[in-house]
A and B are shown apart, each in its own frame.
Chain A
Amino acid sequence: MIRANNVADIKECFVQMLDALSSPWSDWEIVSGWPDRTILQAAQKDVVYVLSPIKSGEMQNQGGLTRNYWDMVIGFWVTRDEGGPSEVDVFQSNVLNLFQNPQTVQGSQFTVEIASTTYTDTTLKEQGIYVTGISGPIEIPTEELNDFRIEFTVNLTA
């Protein structure tokens, strides 16, 4: 189970969850945090990046522990040589298919290490993370003409 209010744990769960998915997700490199120039140049595949979640509110439960609302950016960075706009479209539809279906996103199994404990075949639900919605995509302007980026914001509680 993730530690309370630990953004790194939440992010790591999503990175491992996406990394464990089958094609076309396996055709992309899942990067935790901002993919700077070094990461983009070293990447052998198109890059999907997961940024740290930002707390957007608190959910008060009577008699229970307070849970937080979080917003987390999941983006896609591709060059024209690696697929360009058509690959962006593939990413877009796969993100929506994944996150708009609660059974798929909450039931996807992955392995993650949290605070020196390895959880095998765990799910977001077992880790106390619930996806409540997704917004986007927004097309992000890039400096390089051959770069293409889009981002989604995933809404969740943890």
Chain B
Amino acid sequence: MALYPVSAKTVAKASDFVYKETKKNVAGSPSAAPQTSPVPRRSTRLFRSIKRKIENVVQHRVFSDDSVAPHNVFVHYGTRRMKPRRFLGDVLTKYSRKIWAMMDKDFTEAIQKIGRI
């Protein structure tokens, strides 16, 4: 039970990090050239579609809402006419090890505080 607040805190921190980095990837200048990264924020629909949903205390979901930006999947994976800009996938690729390390550190510190290690 002592680790429960730590779990909640570290998962929230991790999902917040993923959410902010994903937002950055779709917040390009509206006047930027087409097909550049970060994705130019012209209609702002893709930017607004990035959401974070708390399923439960230790399960958060960062996603692009199809109802706001139905074209999200084509931007992410590319089409015949458009190269992919993996605004969410790249965040996980680049930072998953960093996020795991961050969570590992939080848990180790919490366990050390209660004297198990």
Q: What is the interface of chain A, defined by CB distance below 8 A to chain B?
A: 34, 36-37, 40, 51, 54-57, 69, 71, 140-144, 147, 149, 151, 153
| B93–A143 touching, CB < 8 Å | no
The residue from B73, B81, B90, B98 contacting A141, defined by CB atoms under 8 A apart:
B73
Smallest distance from the beta carbon of A36 to chain B beta carbons, Å? 7
- Given contact pairs A56-B96, A141-B74, A143-B74, enumerate 19 new A-B contacts (beta carbons under 8 Å): A34-B84, A36-B80, A36-B83, A37-B81, A40-B80, A51-B84, A54-B93, A55-B94, A56-B94, A57-B97, A57-B98, A71-B93, A141-B77, A142-B79, A143-B79, A143-B80, A144-B80, A147-B80, A149-B77
Asked whether B78 is an interface residue with its Cβ less than 8 Å from the other chain, the reply is yes
- 27 examples of A-B residue contacts, CB within 8 angstroms: A34-B84, A36-B80, A36-B81, A36-B83, A37-B80, A37-B81, A51-B84, A54-B90, A54-B93, A55-B94, A56-B93, A56-B94, A56-B96, A57-B97, A69-B97, A71-B93, A140-B77, A141-B73, A141-B77, A142-B79, A143-B74, A143-B79, A143-B80, A144-B80, A149-B77, A151-B77, A153-B93
Task: Please report the C-alpha to C-alpha distance between residue A57 and residue B96 in the assembled complex, in whole angstroms.
Answer: 8
Which B83-102 residues sit within 8 Å CB-CB of chain A? 83-84, 90, 93-94, 96-98
Residues of chain B lying within 8 A (CB to CB) of residue A144: 80
Which B-chain residue is minimally distant from A38 (CB atoms)?
Answer: B80
Complex-state Cα separation, A141 to B77, whole angstroms: 8
How many pairs of A and B residues are in contact by the CB < 8 Å rule? 35
The total of chain B residues at the interface (CB under 8 A) is 15
Q: For B81, list chain A residues within 8 Å (CB).
A: 36-37
Closest 10 CB pairs of A and B: A57-B97, A37-B80, A34-B83, A140-B77, A71-B93, A143-B79, A54-B93, A141-B73, A56-B93, A37-B81
